């Protein structure tokens, strides 16, 4: 069984606990009537040239045999915040969403821009699935159930595991952690760290489950996965306590000034990476679903410009392209080129 430890005092751990709910450390995020009106008007008035890719989005179909044979730690973007990670010879998945839509319904809601680079059947055995929170674009019931037979452990923030148990996942496969708690699986150590967000899958369960970012530490490398978050001083604390990081996987997408408290703007995403003491930044939470008012390619374009200005190494692999941490390549500006779609073509495969 995995071992669980605590970083810090119990009082510090529970500062974000409220009766029957959880809360952020820096603000109490609530959407008032006035803000709802502002958001509705913004959706009515904002004109976008490319909310979706105009043609087939550049990507690669992933073949597991392509991963470096030397066992190097390797990252693969599967779309949105779903990452396939190989570290210490083990495979991990973050916030896996393999469904067609990020929605409780598969006939309505945000639809994928691109196919998933590989099927669940093609995945190797998964040491752990790491979940950041329970929103539909991060926790997908259909994917969780399809993955179950391949997964050793599901690692979640507090009470997110209750969803999994209701769906039929065995309780002994689920590890629930509070902020600053750690769990070890073999050579891997997972630490739940703070984030500034909220939770809920319906109208009556607001903030009943915890949200978190994650530190993933192997025998050599240390990775950070942001989940969803607004920019807040917690990033600096995480960097001081758990950094430096070889790679930070940072939310960069689905943002707007109207809700920047809980989704960072690209400038803030780069600053969060700097606060975390990261060596290289991989922008996630973009290029798969239309969840905001910016053009689909804007997050990567803005992050690229800001990172260059601030001397930050930005990793921009294609969706489905394996990126070994010991390789020199950092990726290309693939979002600037969209080939015309052929008849019936779903994806471009170089």
Report yes or no on 3 lying in a domain.
no
Give residue 343's pLDDT: 35
pLDDT, greater one: 144 or 329: 144
Mean pLDDT across the stretch 66-89? 96
Alpha carbon distance 62, 323 (integer Å)? 12
Kindly report, residue by residue over 1-40, the tens digit of the pLDDT. 565 666 654 455 568 988 889 999 888 766 655 676 877 7
Report yes or no on 221 lying in a domain.
yes
pLDDT bin (cut points 50, 70, 90) of residue 344 is very low
Check whether 60 has a pLDDT greater than 60: yes
Backbone angles phi, psi at 298, to 5 degrees: -60, -40
Report yes or no on 287 lying in a domain.
yes
Backbone angles phi, psi at 153, to 5 degrees: -140, 145
Kindly report, residue by residue over 114-137, the tens digit of the pLDDT. 999 999 999 999 999 999 999 999
Report yes or no on 86 lying in a domain.
yes
Domain count, the chain: 1
Kindly report, residue by residue over 319-343, the tens digit of the pLDDT. 999 999 998 789 999 999 865 443 3
Model pTM? Answer: 0.92
Residue pointed to by tokens 């609530």: 30
Kindly report, residue by residue over 229-284, the tens digit of the pLDDT. 999 999 999 999 999 999 999 999 999 999 899 999 999 999 999 999 999 999 99
Residue 316: both structure tokens together: 């921009």
- Cβ count near 70 (within 10 Å): 8
Kindly report, residue by residue over 145-204, the tens digit of the pLDDT. 999 999 999 999 999 999 999 999 999 999 999 999 999 999 999 999 999 999 999 988
Report yes or no on 131 lying in a domain.
yes
Q: What is the 3-state secondary structure (H, E, C) of the chain?
A: CCEEEECCCHHHHHHHEECCEECCCCCCCCCCHHHHHHHHHHHHHCCCCCCCCCCCCEECCCCHHHCCCCCCCEEEEEECCEEEEEECCEEEEECCCCCCECCCCCCCCCECCCCCCCCHHHCCCEEEEECCCCCCCCCCHHHHHHHHHHEEEEEEECCHHHHHHHHCCCHHHEEEECCCEEEEECCEEEEEECCCCCCCCCCCCCCCCCCCEEEEECCCCEEEECCCCCCCCHHHHHHHHHCCECEEEEECCCCCHHHCCCCCCHHHHHHHHHHCCECEEEEECCCCCCCCCCCCCHHHHHHHHHHHHHCCEECECCECCCEECCCCCCECCHHHCCCCCCCCCCCECC
Report yes or no on 349 lying in a domain.
no
Residue 130: both structure tokens together: 């790491």
Check whether 76 has a pLDDT greater than 60: yes
Residue pointed to by tokens 């690229």: 304
CATH number of the structural domain spanning residue 161: 3.60.15.10
Measured over the CA atoms of residue 347, residue 333, residue 250 and residue 277, the dihedral's sign is: positive
Report yes or no on 230 lying in a domain.
yes
Backbone angles phi, psi at 130, to 5 degrees: -105, 120
Domain range for 292 is 60-325
Give residue 8's pLDDT: 59
Report yes or no on 333 lying in a domain.
no
Mean pLDDT across the stretch 298-319? 97
Give residue 31's pLDDT: 62
Q: What angle, 0 to 180 degrees and rounded to 10, lies between the N-to-C axes of helices 298-310 and 266-275? A: 50
């Amino acid at each position: 069984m995995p071992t669980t430890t605590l970083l810090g005092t119990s009082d510090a751990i529970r500062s974000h606990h409220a009766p029957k709910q959880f809360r952020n450390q820096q603000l109490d995020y609530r959407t008032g009537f006035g803000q709802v009106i502002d958001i509705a008007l913004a959706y009515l008035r904002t004109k976008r040239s490319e909310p979706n890719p105009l043609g087939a989005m550049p990507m690669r179909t992933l073949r597991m045999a392509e991963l470096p044979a030397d066992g190097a730690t390797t990252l693969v973007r599967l779309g949105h915040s779903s990452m396939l990670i190989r570290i210490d010879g083990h495979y991990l998945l973050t916030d896996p969403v393999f469904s067609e839509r990020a929605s409780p319904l598969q006939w309505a809601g945000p639809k994928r821009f691109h196919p998933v680079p590989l099927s669940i059947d093609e995945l190797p055995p998964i040491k752990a699935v790491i979940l950041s929170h329970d929103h539909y674009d991060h926790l997908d019931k259909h994917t969780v159930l399809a993955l179950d037979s391949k997964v050793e452990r599901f690692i979640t923030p507090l009470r997110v595991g209750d969803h999994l148990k209701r769906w039929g996942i065995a309780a002994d496969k689920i590890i629930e952690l509070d902020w600053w708690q750690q769990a070890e699986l073999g050579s891997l150590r997972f630490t739940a760290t703070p984030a500034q967000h909220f939770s809920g899958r319906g109208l009556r369960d607001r903030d009943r489950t915890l949200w978190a970012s994650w530190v993933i530490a192997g025998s050599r490398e240390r990775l950070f996965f942001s989940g969803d978050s607004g920019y807040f001083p917690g990033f600096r604390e995480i960097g001081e306590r758990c950094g430096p990081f070889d790679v930070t996987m940072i939310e960069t997408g689905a943002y707007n000034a109207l809700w920047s408290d809980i989704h960072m703007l690209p400038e803030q995403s780069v600053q969060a990476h700097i606060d975390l003491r990261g060596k290289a930044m991989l922008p996630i939470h973009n290029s798969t679903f239309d969840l905001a008012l910016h053009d689909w390619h804007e997050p990567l374009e803005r992050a690229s410009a800001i990172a260059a200005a601030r001397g930050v190494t930005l990793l921009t692999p294609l969706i489905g392209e394996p990126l070994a941490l010991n390789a020199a390549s950092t990726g290309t500006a693939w979002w600037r080129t969209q080939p015309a779609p052929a008849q019936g073509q779903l994806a471009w495969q170089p």
